[in-house]
Chain A
């Protein structure tokens, strides 16, 4: 599977190789993408198809010709653009994630799209579409190997001996049955079915009012919901078909997809936080889903910046995380409840608006007002459950927050990845002595946190968590900070 040579090009050896171009078929697909536009232009302008095709085909070819990449010992350099040139330099040490994507078309023609992501914005993402599949594989191997390679000491010592490939251990594989269960219990499916069931009375009422068959309308509703559900289940099964999550050395690797095959590689030291989520249906089956986030997120298309585990038995989550991260400290600890004031606040927050509306309605329509007021009971129950399901815990390695009634989420944040911390307090929270804590993590993947914590706890966490640097883990040794010392004007490496 791993070839160390780029066919038709010098291998990415210790010295820079390139410039290379993407596969010539890229120019053709770029041109075909214009297809519809071409037809429109040709019809509108009255020019012949051959002329239009020559112009756009030529443009597409020129664009392809001017996009080159150079494989350096420490960085990948991509040059792009015909008139305004763009040069993108991606240091391997900053790589957050490497993806290989192969659509059906690419699989037929032996091609692959390689994406290399660094933290933060789109500017740090390199999309090399399309390369020949072996080139993409060897480039990925090279980038990942160089990521952890020691910083070059001088020009002379760039000799790079590729480490022997680490043994790959499959930790989680999913068959069709499990994927089907994951698809059926997905929130979208449950929601569409729930909406269909909930609207049955309304549909019957509509049918009676409009004089249609009293069963036809609800039946049509149910059918529509079933179709939507079936499509979403099939889509989910196809997306995750052949799911295999494994660990090799300090990287996690994920492959999945039937029509479009995706291979994601994420260095374990790059994990920013982990989300374990479930919903009532999944709780009934004793299953959950896990999402592992890196800092590659902004502007990226699709499920970039994350490794998804669509379905896993709740009892196996701890074991899987420990094996995947190579560290027992990722076991979710027992949670502390929030203070009793948070329970009151949670109930008031969910009932006060309903009661306010009820008071207004009551002034005009007493019966409707009472009905609305009765809804506040639901808000009360919701608040009680919300409080019961929320909680937090802090271990020396991770901070854990849980919240959510229907869609329940557990966030595990490695303390050494916290950039800064915030607390926001509304006037209502101030009266109750509560506040909302948020931990800022790299990228824009969100800020995990918890609302309605008591002020002393939140203050301690806000002050202590970002300051703690955490124990250096085995996987974290390749810290991306170490630029070659020649580039740091203040010589941070020297400890000044």
Chain B
């Protein structure tokens, strides 16, 4: 991804980096994993019949798989477009969310990377306006794209942030 940042604002529809699905799937697998371990330990501790062990493990695997499928679907439905004057997002599996944030309203731009994202080389770009309800977080951007986009947008940001 060595595209110059300028070309990002040409209004072409973009997808997230597919690796973001790994981050999401890992996030949704934490709870099932924890529950499965707790269930297995309980089953072993109280000398319950073996089939219960099978149920616990099967349940954990099924939940984790569901999380993986969901993460994959969430990635497949994520779109973002940087127009010359505004960024447009479209995401959501069941409830589809679309939002438009004009650059002249941007007050602040954050880049956030959690540990797993750092390992995978991903960044989340968060555009903040004066409103607490604006929806403008683009997750799963390659680091270079996020940094370039941030630099580019900062130059356009807040020219009319009148509150």
Partner of B133, one of A447, A480, A490, A492: A447
Partner of A420, one of B129, B155, B163: B129
Quote the shortest CB–CB distance from A75 to chain B (angstroms).
17
Residue A416, interface by CB 8 Å? yes
Give Cα A440 to B163, complex, Å: 12
Asked whether, in the complex, the Cβ of A462 is within 8 Å of the Cβ of B100, the reply is yes
Give Cα A466 to B162, complex, Å: 12
Give Cα A435 to B99, complex, Å: 12
Partner of B102, one of A423, A466, A476, A479: A466
Asked whether, in the complex, the Cβ of B158 is within 8 Å of the Cβ of A419, the reply is no
> Contacts A120-B130, A295-B163, A469-B104: A422 and B135 contacting too (C-beta < 8 A)?
yes
Question: How does the 8 Å CB contact mask read for B99-113 relative to A, with 1 for contact and 0 for none?
Answer: 111101100000000
Asked whether, in the complex, the Cβ of B130 is within 8 Å of the Cβ of A442, the reply is yes
Please tell me which stretch of A211-219, A385-393, A424-432 contacts chain B, meaning at least 4 of its Cβ atoms lie within 8 angstroms of it: A424-432
Nearest A residue to B129 by beta-carbon distance?
A419
Partner of B163, one of A423, A427, A442: A442
Question: How does the 8 Å CB contact mask read for A404-420 relative to B, with 1 for contact and 0 for none?
Answer: 00000000000011011
Chain B at the A interface: SS class: loop
Asked whether, in the complex, the Cβ of A438 is within 8 Å of the Cβ of B133, the reply is yes
Q: Which of A446-496 contact B (CB under 8 A)?
A: 446-447, 459, 462-463, 466-467, 469, 476, 479-481, 490, 492
Asked whether, in the complex, the Cβ of B100 is within 8 Å of the Cβ of A463, the reply is yes
> Contacts A466-B100, A469-B160, A476-B162: A295 and B130 contacting too (C-beta < 8 A)?
yes
Instruction: Please indicate the chain B residues that have their CB under 8 angstroms from the CB of A298 in the complex.
Output: 132
Instruction: Please indicate the chain B residues that have their CB under 8 angstroms from the CB of A423 in the complex.
Output: 97-99
Asked whether, in the complex, the Cβ of B134 is within 8 Å of the Cβ of A440, the reply is yes
Nearest B residue to A458 by beta-carbon distance?
B98
Instruction: Please indicate the chain A residues that have their CB under 8 angstroms from the CB of B161 in the complex.
Output: 480-481
Residue A319, interface by CB 8 Å? no
Give Cα A446 to B132, complex, Å: 9
Instruction: Please indicate the chain B residues that have their CB under 8 angstroms from the CB of A433 in the complex.
Output: none
Q: Which of B113-163 contact A (CB under 8 A)?
A: 129-136, 154-155, 158-163
Nearest B residue to A440 by beta-carbon distance?
B131
Asked whether, in the complex, the Cβ of A462 is within 8 Å of the Cβ of B98, the reply is yes
Residue A398, interface by CB 8 Å? no
Asked whether, in the complex, the Cβ of A420 is within 8 Å of the Cβ of B158, the reply is no
Give Cα A490 to B135, complex, Å: 26
Asked whether, in the complex, the Cβ of B130 is within 8 Å of the Cβ of A119, the reply is yes
Q: Which of B17-37 contact A (CB under 8 A)?
A: none
Give Cα A352 to B63, complex, Å: 31
Asked whether, in the complex, the Cβ of A442 is within 8 Å of the Cβ of B131, the reply is yes
Quote the shortest CB–CB distance from B81 to chain A (angstroms).
11
Instruction: Please indicate the chain B residues that have their CB under 8 angstroms from the CB of A446 in the complex.
Output: 133
Going nearest first, the 7 A-B pairs with the smallest beta carbon separation are: A442-B130, A440-B131, A419-B131, A419-B129, A420-B101, A442-B163, A420-B134
